[in-house]
Chain A
């Protein structure tokens, strides 16, 4: 959308534009496309799991292949689908919501994306190179350290690279929200989605280093002969479990909090009321983030931490229900007495409330350490975390996409198709997972590739698989919706929902520089404040002047490519020492690109104010 590409519209030019872009809006689109792609792959894996379990002792896939599918389903959905889709929304919206022209580190923003993508590609390359990881998405040692082949090595290197990208993205959003806010945008005037992004970025900052270390130790054990988790050398596999969950539990809050943010934007907009209890919502968000770091051992109740540790972690876990409950009630009170308009975004948001509450309730059940000995590693757990992750995060992503689609692409997604998607997916979801609570209580263990006939599990599994097909139908309809809307949809105004927050104060399409003049924020729901005073747009905080913008760069792509190459070298050097060459070449490329970045001045460029009037940069 920049001036240069408006003139050269060839495929090569567009491709180059996206490879080098540092524009947060385009990076958001890149995250959306690649996250969506991995979501489909993860969905295919889920379908394979459910088809295998449609009847007792099925042989649709082999036992070993089933392990690979279930491992990759979890890993892909968490790291390569849910997180990037959330980053897509954050990139598309957060700078606009705070009245900024870009993020604090546009270059690093691009680097974060390419690291994630190359990490994801590396992980998925394992399918074609002798088999995918098969030790579960938690990769518990010693199962993971002794897993034959290179599957788990791909898991380690892939997640290491994409994890670095996530950490970079987190720091970027933190600094953006602190330093780039428009005049008058105080912390307590930040829209809730921006607040959740802020808290989530802090969680990323403190949680991901634990994963980094865990993956390094696992890598050293598997590829370089160290003994961290090897009992024969005095190692201890509980170390991996702690490191993984010190990261892993905050990770689930990293996923859910932005979804909470989305609902806190959608509900007020379509209820035509301001968010009930804004301050309490902010406080609850921070508190959930804080408590999220003190509960990781509830994943390890059956490890044998002892009654004292189990009790502490059980109580801390139950405490999280309090701020979450505050949020649920605030959403309900936001709806209370509102002038509610039902559309696709709203349907996802409304259905989220009861669905997530169910997941929260089973969460409290699981938090009771003594009872958890019964639930542990059964389908009850599977049902619980799908209720919170699908019912919370995926519903949130769908709501956010419907809500912000006109901001990202200038068109409203087709409502009829949107509603078909919602109802098929919603019904399919509950069919799939509600019954799994009972399968779990009847004792069906998770991660088993077959179950026996006549144990009372047949009907439940059959229903579950039918539900999964409905979810697949819903997803396909959504894809059709995207195609139909892109080709036939009509361009809408910059503010199609009569919005409340700053991102709706911008014309459609969004200019390259977002805001011609930085807006002056005069209250919570900045645009709504102006609307109630009869104005149609924001009051500018500065005179019209030249706009400083960052330069595009191919270096982030090259740096990530280097690590991708080095990743293969690390994996295969254990078979053949000459693969170390790939490590040196790859690291050389990455360090070389870092060196170039360090010594070459990048001062950005200016869009002159004379050109702004002519509509440059649209």
Chain B
């Protein structure tokens, strides 16, 4: 693929699907998310089966505070919207604005991750509630930790492609990369919606 075909004079309105490679990436990544759905379902199932097995340790009612979770939810939901804005500007071929919105997304994601680390620290040091305290502890940290790991990976991914393409701008080679990174970010939010509902809200009722 020569240089010109990747940098057309007029960018198409869906640059992420303008090349065969882009179409493949788009489809392959959606399929991957289908598999990820099962992965998280298995973790949710395990958590639901074990959430009352606190083995004499703290229960979910004693542990969870809704204020922090509410703030974290707002951060992640907003970051979902900002990444929609980033893709909006990508489709309008406005690279600078896309980078700005992605930057905001990353900042919000970092905030979320910081709160999550604080939350875990708080449970471990104030309640002595760890991964090894009970089956409930194992299931909680595994489910929420898997999600946190996804957030971390997503942040590293978005930062990498932002830095890599900062100087050369948008073309048909990197547009699909930005697009699937944003799909990944939305999926992280999808999982979080169930985590705050099933783990936290149902945990304190």
Please give the residue numbers on chain A whose beta carbons come within 8 Å of chain B beta carbons, in ascending order: 104-105, 167, 171-172, 174-175, 178-179, 205-210, 212-214, 216-217, 220-221, 224-228, 230, 233-236, 239, 242-243, 246, 548, 595, 598-599, 601, 603-604
Contacts and interface: CB of A to CB of B under 8 A. Distances in A.
Nearest to B56: A234
B132 interface: yes
Contacts of A212: 39
Interface of B: 1, 6, 20, 23-24, 27-28, 31-32, 34-36, 38-39, 42-43, 45-46, 49-50, 53-55, 131-139, 142, 157, 160-161, 164, 173, 177
A234 B46 contact: no
Contacts of B50: 228, 234-236, 239
B133 to A, nearest CB: 8
A175 B27 contact: yes
Nearest to A240: B46
A171 B35 CA distance: 9
Task: Specify the main secondary structure of chain A where it touches its partner.
Answer: helix
A178 B28 CA distance: 10
Contacts of A604: 1
A598 B134 contact: no
A210 B53 CA distance: 22
A180 to B, nearest CB: 8
Contact of B34 (A175, A205, A230): A205
B32 A171 contact: yes
A225 B131 contact: yes
A206 B35 contact: yes
Contacts of A217: 46, 138, 142
Given A105-B28, A171-B28, A599-B164, A235 B38 contact: no
A234 B31 contact: no
B135 A227 contact: yes
Contacts of B35: 167, 171, 205-206, 208-209
A56 B139 CA distance: 46
Contacts of B43: 213
* Shortest Cβ-Cβ A-B pairs, 7 listed: A234-B53, A226-B138, A209-B39, A213-B42, A234-B135, A235-B135, A209-B38
Contacts of B23: 179
24 contacts: A171-B28, A172-B28, A175-B24, A207-B38, A209-B38, A216-B142, A217-B46, A217-B142, A224-B132, A225-B132, A226-B132, A227-B134, A227-B135, A227-B138, A230-B135, A234-B50, A234-B55, A235-B138, A236-B50, A239-B46, A243-B46, A595-B160, A603-B173, A604-B1
A206 B50 CA distance: 23
Given A167-B35, A179-B23, A233-B135, A213 B164 contact: no
Contacts of A226: 131-132, 135, 137-138, 142
A210 B42 CA distance: 6
Given A179-B23, A208-B35, A226-B142, A233 B55 contact: yes
A383 B38 CA distance: 32
Nearest to A236: B49
B134 to A, nearest CB: 5
Contacts of B136: 234
B29 to A, nearest CB: 9
Contacts of A225: 131-132
A601 B31 contact: no
Contacts of A595: 160
A595 to B, nearest CB: 7
Contacts of A206: 34-35, 38
